[in-house]
Amino acid sequence: MIQYKEKKKGQETGNLALLSYPVLMVSDILLYDADLVIVGQDQKQHLELTNDITSKFNNFCAAKVLKIPKFSIPAIGAKIMGLKNPQKKMSKSENDYIALLDSPEVINKKIKEAETDSENKIYYDPTKKPGISNLLIIYALLNNQQIKEAEKELQNLNYHQFKLKLIDLLSGKLEVIQKKYSDYLSKVGEIVEKNNNYLKNLAEKKVKIIKKELKIL
């Protein structure tokens, strides 16, 4: 798998955790009978692996034990690129990302430092203008717009004006998320316990069915 090869770069051998991670991801999906899984573009191979494992397991068993979920890859924003390096995927490990808990001051700094180009015209062209195209995607997603709609709205602005507009929009959206986060944090123990019990019950039922089919009860 592509991600395995990328993570293994520079290493003579791969470790078990890295090798088994895709299967663990598949288990997380199948264990809870997911109906729909929304993923990014870079997860496409994991979707194919999920379908392969599900089909082979169901064919091996007398009953269709595992539900084959539907997968959805968003038409816009399936892969958000880095702010300083828009040629690479936005990554926390590269310190080139927007965090949901970033303050308005941090957002202001990150967006103002985001890479653009010298043309100072706002339009979508990920090949020639990867930086501004990435910011356009973020703006369109936050504003629930298509790329063309965002282009039309912003066409008369220069990069500085666009970045200020994006900063205001992003800060406002994150403020709502951060308020909810703060509210949930005050009762996190109660939420974790309630959901842990619910999910544990679902998982145990599914594992019991799987063990019965495999005759390892």
Which residues are the active-site residues? 7, 89, 92
Is 68:30 a contact under the CB 8 Å cutoff?
A: no
Helix, strand, or coil (residue 129)? coil
CB atoms within 10 A of CB 135: 25
Residues 6+ apart with CB under 8 A from 133: 86, 124, 125, 126
Residue ranges with strand state E in 63-118: 70-72
Output the six-digit token pair for 156: 């008369």
Q: How far apart are CA 129 and CA 88, in angstroms?
A: 14
Residues 6+ apart with CB under 8 A from 60: none
CB atoms within 10 A of CB 70: 10
Give, rounded to a whole angstrom, the gap between the first and last alpha carbons of the chain. Answer: 33
Residues 6+ apart with CB under 8 A from 112: 163, 167
